[in-house]
Amino acid sequence: MAIRANPKLIDELEAYGAQDVSKCYHCGNCSATCPFSGGDTVFPRRAMRQLQMGLESKLDSSLDPWLCYYCGECSDDCPRDAEPGETMMSLRRWLTARYDWTGISRLFYRSWKWELAAIIVAALLTGAGFLLAGFYLGGGDIGVYNGENAFLPAGDSWYGLPTGSGVHLFDWILAAVLVFFLGSNCVRMWWKTMGKNPYTRWAVGAYLRRLWVLPAHFVTQMRYAKCDRKRPWAVHLVLMLSYLTMLVLIMFFLGYMASGPEIDWRVHIFGILATVGLLATTIWAMRGRMLKTETQYQHSHESDWMFLTLLVIVAGTGILQFGLHRAGADAAANVAYVVHLMGVVPMLALEVPFSKWSHLAYRPLAMYFADVRADVETAKAKQRAAEPIGAAQTA
Amino acid sequence: MDEQRIGVYVCNCGTNIAKVVDCDAVVEASASLPGVVVARPYKYMCSNPGQEMIVADITEHDLNRVVVAACSPRMHEPTFRKALQKAGVNPYFLEMANIREQCSWVHHDPVEATDKAKALTRAAALRVARHEPLERRSVDMCPNTLVIGGGIAGMSAALDLADAGGKVYIVERNDHLGGNVARVDLTAPYLDSASDMLTGRVTRVVEHGNIDVLLESEVKSLEGFVGNFHGGIRSKLHDGGVVDQEVDIGSVIVATGYKEFDAGRITHYGYGKLPNVITSFELEKMLRTGRVETKEGGAPQYVAIIHCVGSRNLEFHTYCSRVCCMTALKYAHEIKAAVPGCYVSDVYIDMHAFGKGHEDFYRRSSEVKTLFLMYEKNDYPVVRRAESKDDCEMLIEVNEKLSGETIEIPADLVVLMVGMEAREDSEEVARLVNISCDKDGWFIESHPKLDPVATTTDGIFIAGACQYPKDIPDSVAQARAAAGRILARIARGQLEIDAVFAEVDEDRCSGCRICNDLCPYSAIEYDEEKGRSHVISALCKACGACVAACPSSAITARHFTDAQIFAQIEGVLA
Amino acid sequence: MTFEPTIVGFLCNWCSYTGADLAGTSRIQYAPNVRIIRVMCSARIDPTFVLKALTDGADGVLICGCHPGDCHYSEGNYKMMRRFPLLKTLLADYGIEEERVRLEWVSASEGQRFADIVNDMTERVRALGPSPIKMALAHDMAER
Amino acid sequence: MADTKLQLAIYWGAACGGCDVSILDTNEFILEVDKVADIRLWPIAADGKYADVEAMADGELDVALMNGAVRNSENEYICKLLRQKSKIFVAYGSCAYMGGIPGLANLVPRTQIIECAYLTNPSIEPGNRTVPLAECSVNGYTLEIPKFYDRVYKLDQIVDVDYYVPGCPPQPDQAKAAILALVAALTGQADPPPKGAVVGAYERALCDDCPREKSEKKIARFYRPWEIMQDPDKCLMEQGIFCAGMATRSGCGVRCPNSGIPCRGCYGPAPGVLDQGAKLVSAVASIIDSKDPEGIEAALATLPDFTSFANRYSIPASPLQRSHRQ
């Protein structure tokens, strides 16, 4: 059955940052240089081809874009400057939008203005909300950073509410929202890439056998390490780990973070390391994107900038409030804290489920699915080999 | 022939021959051969003293035949022939024995090599004894030229010839000059206008004092041989009548061009059935008017261009038509210009971008987002009418080679890149001017690599796409090359005819006509009255095919007679 | 003392003879048994030449022309290509061993090929032994 | 004036008798011959014994017309005898001139001929093994039959021949013309033809006299005459019927082609041709309409038993003379 080509798709992808795709004349250099290409996965070339021809259905169910980390070698080696690396990047954006059922991703990726507006609104609401809570609800004192009458109490009880309420409680609510959106999109991703195909839909055995892949990749980025270029991997790993640490600290140790008269170094050492890591890598990335130092920094989509800016703001204000508080300027610290939250909320509520950050879920999933697919394929091959020729042909 | 007085000269070629062959032994052996009066060795026969020696001996011993046992005759035969001439002996009384390239340089055993050298020299001596004096002749070269076909090739050649002062007759079948180029809008890869390019040429040709443009005319007959042809031309008159005229010309340039493949012959594309499937030439027409639209008059949203229509497949023509790839890319640009926002897909087999600027053009075309789809030779894409649910008029199913997928692309307008075909009457034209066609009907050049402009018939040249599909620059290049070749001859005024050619002995010829069809140069004529065949020496290239084939040995190959070769056989075997 | 065959070679001027010259200029050594006779084109080679050579004492005859399609006279070699099988039939009927007469295409650039052909043919004819013709005719004399 | 009469002998070697008949076919002319000549030996028509010839003085005969080839010792003996006794020795007919039909036997070894004639021939009753002995003794007497040679010879391979009269048999008018020419020469009324001349024939090939229309030739395949309906006005070769005319001396009056049968070449090669067969190879193969070995083979496959066609009358006369298969 013939697949319908959609010549317009390539135009649509341009909104997601694709460029020069049509220049590709399939010499195959890109696939030859890419360490991940081989066997059944001939990318980036296959994806390039499917995109050129506008084979929407094929791309929709493709995992290829997620299996690429954009080390940039393919783009460097391309004799026609068809930017395969960037094409994979834009495909990731496109897929993110396809997975997202709310349509928010699509909106954000296609118009940075909307994304920016959304972030600003979210930030303002957050700011207003916390000020309101601080001044009126809690009746807290702007001059107090923590302890009794803290302006924004972290974990401890807050005007009669049980322990664990306060900002911490808010974090948890936010996390729930985030998990809901991202989770539902992941399910959609599964359906598009695995669920539709009866072979991969219920391959429970394979799913269990390969489950370890998820955490392993998530924490170590081991696949990224396979790229010939190591620096991007290193940077990404640091960023990734710092971010993870931070997440854990905030979700589970927020109480200890708001340091009392004495600092609980068991927690803070991590906090400081993570923040430094975050700041360092983001600034490195921003510098890279500004000076276009590396291939993967050549073409920056607006979403990349917002992502980085938010990170810098959050990390910066995080340190700032800590410093101010230690310096005894609690009022200023509280203000910094509010600003900090104004960055955190849009970041978690918008960027993570609907924009660039979602890849922290999609990529490990893609690898996981890819391995499951591979298992299913080998199983099928075995089975076919076992069958009598005739059966195989009629199958 | 009076008494034979043969001189044999054995060259040492420094040590090249002498270090292996015992030259003195060879001299000794030859001295006793019949008719040999002098036999000498010498260090370098080709040197001046060496040649002087021959000249001196000729006068002293009044030699009338000379054998030089030295290097390959392909090297020094001319040298020694001159020496003979200088001494007043007919140059064809020379025979060389190749005892260097084919003896001393390829054998290390002195005994065997010397034996062989003796045998070769003996053969030469026996052969030269049967040589006959031959004279080179020359004929006048008529400075007029007949150009058949008024296309870009014909006109280019005509202008060069006419500018040099020669008279040129352009015979054009249509009522206007320009040929196929006149049907084209822009040209690849630089996208400049064909008509601009053409008008200039046409005006120059028409206004040129040395050019006779004969429109609506055809060549009816061509007799004679190089330098001295007589052509019969028939021209239509406006009142419907015809007028015939005779022209004397020295050379002919055949530039009859090509015709396009009939797209209707390929059923898969539905040409003639689907209204919006058109040929490249039909698109050119649209482009010239500046409006690319469907039969319904709407602007097409999707245009698909199918390459190699009639070319590069087993069913029709196996050859590549060479211009379609670039023309198709040109369309991608022109269509996008004419219909902004329209999607163009190129369904091709291979992209042949071999010419100057072509590869860049290919790159530029892909930059304007032309969708290239590759299909397998002989696995035709299929065009069918789309259903109402589709947002397009037609769908093309392609087994796309690069992705390995069978895909369907939308199209509102399908352009078929029809290939080039030899004109249906190319066989007739070939017969008329005594040249030949290959299996596809293209005219055959004299040598595919070293002489692609001349033909097997001396004085008949080919230019442009009548030889093989060509683009404009190639056609013009060949045309002007042909003009150059002709001018070189006109400049000499006379044509030397080699003294070596075949002759029919009419007292022996029985008129069996075995030889008639064997001559690649059509140098053999059959005289119906006499019932005899005879060779037009000016056309004969002396291959000897007819000589060997003549069942009654009535044809003699001058300088390669049976007697001479028999003598050689006896010589090498004695 | 092994028997050394004498082979007569008829070579076309444009390809094969030039090829043989090339073997010379490239100093490629080969068996000295072939005596070359130059003709303008393999089409000039009359089967009579072959008969003549054989009866005059040649142990083998080698015919070389341009590769099909490369003939200097465009189609001469095809004429030889057509005559050859018929000539072989004739010779076979006269009981001449097949390997004594050979047709090969040698281009002007194939010096090595020419040398190889000469060596190979010389070996084969050497293996066959002297041409039977002389002996047979001598025998006929003797019986009367 | 008996003494002024020409002394004539007519005899045969390995022959069919057709040549003698061709002389008789000159009808009344034979009486003219009788007027001017004493026929000293002509067993088929007159009389004469070997003994009479042996008794003659050398050169006593003016002319000896010898037809037939030499296949055995007797042929050779009488051939040499007549040569010795005659001033002019004429090889009369294709067998004498070139070996003729008997010459075809040169392509097979003697043993095979004997076997076929006496043992394996289907007309021989099974088990009959009657084979003649070259020599046997009957009540004390030794009987010999002539030695059967290994091969057939044309006359000039045995003796010196003055003139040749080709044809199988020579066309009667040509025979007449030849005899008259010789008579004229001997009676001093005309110069004798140069020694070794072919008399009673022309200097061109048969096509010259053949009335069939000829055009350029290309042959895709060959036919035996019975395989196709032939066009009576068109060159037989062009119709794919193998006709030796183009390589055969004219003089027969185009007897065969005129009756729809291809020329078999009995008048021998055209002047200056070394071998009729080789020339036919060259001519016929050259016009085959194919450029690839397969196509050529295919066309030639339709030409069976080629050599027996191309050298039908001239195997002993060809340079190779006989089969050399050991």
Instruction: Check: CB of residue B395 under 8 Å from CB of residue B361.
Output: no
Pair (D156, D241) in one structural domain:
no
- At A356 the pLDDT is 84
Tell me whether D234 touches chain B (CB under 8 Å).
no
User: Percent helix, strand, coil in chain B (nearest 5)?
Assistant: 30, 25, 40
Residue A159 confidence (pLDDT) above 60:
no
- At B360 the pLDDT is 93
- At A258 the pLDDT is 61
Residues of chain D neighbouring C143 (CB-CB closer than 8 A): 149-150
ipTM above 0.85, yes or no: no
Pair (D144, D275) in one structural domain:
no
Tell me whether D204 touches chain B (CB under 8 Å).
yes
For chain D, what's the residue count?
326
Instruction: Check: CB of residue D160 under 8 Å from CB of residue D83.
Output: yes
Q: How many CB atoms lie within 10 A of CB A383?
A: 12
- Cα(D23)–Cα(D167) distance, rounded to whole angstroms? 12
Residues 6+ apart with CB under 8 A from A80: A20, A23, A24, A25, A27, B363, B366
Q: Is residue D316 part of a domain?
A: no
Report which DSSP code applies to B15. Answer: T
Rounded mean pLDDT, C39-65: 97
Instruction: Check: CB of residue B130 under 8 Å from CB of residue B564.
Output: yes
Nearest to C52 among D291, D319, D326 (CB): D319
Pair (D161, D244) in one structural domain:
no
Domain that holds residue D33: 6-101+151-186
Rounded mean pLDDT, B16-26: 96
Rounded mean pLDDT, A107-132: 90
The distance of Cα C56 from the centroid of its chain, to the nearest Å, equals 14
Region for B518 from its dihedrals, namely left if φ exceeds 0, alpha if ψ lies in -120 to 50, beta otherwise: alpha
**pLDDT category, B156, cuts 50, 70, 90?**
very high
Q: Which chains touch B (3 or more CB pairs under 8 A)?
A: A, C, D
Question: Which of these, C25, C24, C26, C121, lies nearest to C64 by C-alpha position?
Answer: C121
The domains of chain A, with CATH numbers, are 9-99 (1.10.1060.10), 104-374 (no CATH)
B367 to chain A: closest CA residue: A23
Q: Is residue C108 part of a domain?
A: yes
Nearest to C24 among B105, B112, B119 (CB): B105
In DSSP terms, B460 is beta-bridged to B252
CATH of the domain at D88: 3.40.50.700
Residues of chain A neighbouring B370 (CB-CB closer than 8 A): 22
Show which of residues 80-139 on chain B sit within 8 Å of chain C, judged by CB atoms.
98, 100-103, 105-109, 112-113, 115-116, 119-120, 123
> pLDDT tens string for chain D (326 positions)?
345 788 999 999 999 999 999 999 988 898 888 888 899 999 988 888 899 999 999 999 999 999 999 999 999 999 999 999 999 999 999 999 999 999 999 999 999 999 999 998 899 888 888 888 888 999 999 999 999 999 999 999 999 999 999 999 999 999 899 888 888 888 888 899 999 999 999 999 999 999 999 999 999 999 999 999 999 999 999 999 999 999 999 999 999 999 999 999 999 999 999 999 999 999 999 999 999 999 999 999 999 899 999 999 999 999 999 999 87
Q: How many CB atoms lie within 10 A of CB A185?
A: 23
Residue A59 confidence (pLDDT) above 70:
yes
Q: Pull the structure tokens for residue D152.
A: 């057939």
Q: How many domains does chain C have?
A: 1
- At A391 the pLDDT is 47
Instruction: Indicate the burial class of D160 (C-beta count within 10 angstroms; 0-12, 13-18, 19 or more).
Output: exposed
Per residue in A64-113, pLDDT tens? 999 888 888 999 999 989 999 999 999 999 999 999 999 999 999 988 89
Pair (D156, D145) in one structural domain:
no
Q: Pull the structure tokens for residue B166.
A: 């020669």
Pair (D289, D219) in one structural domain:
yes
Do the chains contact at D286 and B512, CB–CB below 8 Å?
Answer: no
Pair (D15, D61) in one structural domain:
yes
Residue B521 confidence (pLDDT) above 50:
yes
Nearest to D323 among C48, C81, C94 (CB): C94
- Cα(C102)–Cα(C11) distance, rounded to whole angstroms? 12
- The full 3-state SS of B126-186, as one line of letters, equals HHHCCCCCCCCEEEECCCCEEEECCEHHHHHHHHHHHHCCCCEEEECCCCCCEHHHHHCCE
Show which of residues 15-54 on chain C sit within 8 Å of chain D, judged by CB atoms.
43, 46-48, 50-52, 54
Q: Which helix (H) or strand (E) holds B542?
A: none
Instruction: Check: CB of residue B540 under 8 Å from CB of residue B500.
Output: no
Show which of residues 499-558 on chain B sit within 8 Å of chain D, judged by CB atoms.
507-514, 516-518, 531, 545, 548-554
- Cα(B297)–Cα(B299) distance, rounded to whole angstroms? 7
Report which DSSP code applies to B528. Answer: T
Q: Is residue C2 part of a domain?
A: no
Show which of residues 75-94 on chain C sit within 8 Å of chain B, judged by CB atoms.
75-76, 79, 83
Do the chains contact at C24 and B106, CB–CB below 8 Å?
Answer: yes
- The angle, 0 to 180 degrees and rounded to 10, between the axes of the packed helices D276-286 and C47-55 is 150
Domain that holds residue C118: 7-143
Of B107, B456, B514, B569, which to mutate for an interface test with C (greatest number of C Cβ within 10 Å)?
B569
Q: Which chains touch A (3 or more CB pairs under 8 A)?
A: B
Report which DSSP code applies to A195. Answer: I
Q: Pull the structure tokens for residue B103.
A: 């003896």
Q: Is residue D194 part of a domain?
A: no
Higher-pLDDT residue of A126 and C101 is C101
C-alpha torsion sign, points B137, B141, B146, B152: positive
Tell me whether B279 touches chain C (CB under 8 Å).
no
Residues of chain B neighbouring C38 (CB-CB closer than 8 A): 73
Strand B494-497, strand C60-65: pairing: unpaired
- At A326 the pLDDT is 83
B507 to chain D: closest CA residue: D204
- Cα(B40)–Cα(B61) distance, rounded to whole angstroms? 13
Alpha helices for D99-171 (secondary structure H): 100-103, 110-114
Residues of chain B neighbouring A42 (CB-CB closer than 8 A): none
Pair (D220, D129) in one structural domain:
no
Q: How many domains does chain D have?
A: 3
CATH of the domain at C56: 3.40.50
- At A261 the pLDDT is 62
Q: How far apart are the first and last CA of chain C?
A: 33
Least trusted range by pLDDT, from A315-319, B487-491, C89-93? A315-319
Backbone angles phi, psi at B145, to 5 degrees: -130, 140
Residues 6+ apart with CB under 8 A from A200: A194, A206, A369, A372, A373, A376
Question: Which of these, A45, A49, A39, lies nearest to A75 by C-alpha position?
Answer: A45
Do the chains contact at D307 and C132, CB–CB below 8 Å?
Answer: no
Which amino acid does the sequence have at B250? G
- Cα(A285)–Cα(A321) distance, rounded to whole angstroms? 24
Chain C closest-CA separation from residue B129 CA (Å): 16
Do the chains contact at B402 and A26, CB–CB below 8 Å?
Answer: yes
Strand B65-70, strand B94-98: pairing: parallel
Pair (D166, D237) in one structural domain:
no
- The full 3-state SS of B196-254, as one line of letters, equals HHHHHHHHHHHHCCCEEEECCEEEEEEEEECCEEEEEEEEECCCCCEEEEEEEECEEEE
Q: Is residue C1 part of a domain?
A: no
CB pairs under 8 A between C and D: 111
Of B344, B405, B408, which to mutate for an interface test with A (greatest number of A Cβ within 10 Å)?
B405
Q: Pull the structure tokens for residue A377.
A: 């394929």
Chains D and A touch (3+ CB pairs under 8 A): no
Nearest to B572 among C13, C17, C37 (CB): C37
Chain C closest-CA separation from residue B201 CA (Å): 36
Q: Is residue D32 part of a domain?
A: yes
Residues of chain B neighbouring D246 (CB-CB closer than 8 A): 510, 512, 514, 551-552
Do the chains contact at B372 and A5, CB–CB below 8 Å?
Answer: no
Do the chains contact at B366 and A22, CB–CB below 8 Å?
Answer: yes
Q: Is residue D318 part of a domain?
A: no
Q: Is residue D224 part of a domain?
A: yes
Pair (D165, D268) in one structural domain:
no
Cα–Cα distances (Å) from C21 to B72, B404, B421, D64, in that order, read 7, 53, 42, 57
- Cα(B63)–Cα(D79) distance, rounded to whole angstroms? 48
Do the chains contact at C46 and B562, CB–CB below 8 Å?
Answer: yes
Chains C and B touch (3+ CB pairs under 8 A): yes
Nearest to D286 among C79, C96, C132 (CB): C79
Do the chains contact at D285 and C82, CB–CB below 8 Å?
Answer: yes
Pair (D45, D157) in one structural domain:
yes
Per residue in B170-201, pLDDT tens? 999 999 999 999 999 999 999 999 999 999 99
Instruction: Check: CB of residue A97 under 8 Å from CB of residue A109.
Output: yes
Pair (D173, D32) in one structural domain:
yes
Tell me whether C55 touches chain D (CB under 8 Å).
yes
Sheet holding B371-374, edge to edge: B277-279, B413-418, B302-309, B343-348, B371-374
Pair (D130, D155) in one structural domain:
no
**pLDDT category, A156, cuts 50, 70, 90?**
low
- Cα(B536)–Cα(B574) distance, rounded to whole angstroms? 38
Q: Is residue D1 part of a domain?
A: no
Residues of chain A neighbouring B343 (CB-CB closer than 8 A): 7-8
Q: Is residue D12 part of a domain?
A: yes
Residues of chain D neighbouring B509 (CB-CB closer than 8 A): 204
- At A260 the pLDDT is 60
Question: Which of these, A74, A96, A100, lies nearest to A21 by C-alpha position?
Answer: A74
Instruction: Check: CB of residue D316 under 8 Å from CB of residue D151.
Output: yes
Cα–Cα distances (Å) from A395 to A181, A380, A384, A388, in that order, read 40, 11, 9, 11
- Cα(A1)–Cα(D245) distance, rounded to whole angstroms? 69
Least trusted range by pLDDT, from A123-127, B95-99, B231-235, B316-320? A123-127
Nearest to D215 among B509, B513, B551 (CB): B513
D76 to chain C: closest CA residue: C144
Show which of residues 78-117 on chain C sit within 8 Å of chain D, judged by CB atoms.
78-79, 81-87, 89-91, 93-96
Nearest to A22 among B367, B397, B410 (CB): B367
Which amino acid does the sequence have at D284? V
Show which of residues 23-82 on chain C sit within 8 Å of chain B, judged by CB atoms.
23-25, 27-30, 32, 35-41, 43-46, 48-49, 52-53, 56-58, 72-76, 79
Per residue in A199-216, pLDDT tens? 888 889 999 999 998 988
Tell me whether D107 touches chain C (CB under 8 Å).
yes
Q: Which chains touch C (3 or more CB pairs under 8 A)?
A: B, D
Least trusted range by pLDDT, from A21-25, B65-69, B179-183, B480-484? A21-25
Residue C2 confidence (pLDDT) above 90:
no
Residues of chain B neighbouring D273 (CB-CB closer than 8 A): 551-553
**What is the secondary structure of D208-243 as a DSSP string?**
GT--SB-----BS--B-GGGS---TTB-TGGGTB--
Do the chains contact at C48 and D150, CB–CB below 8 Å?
Answer: no
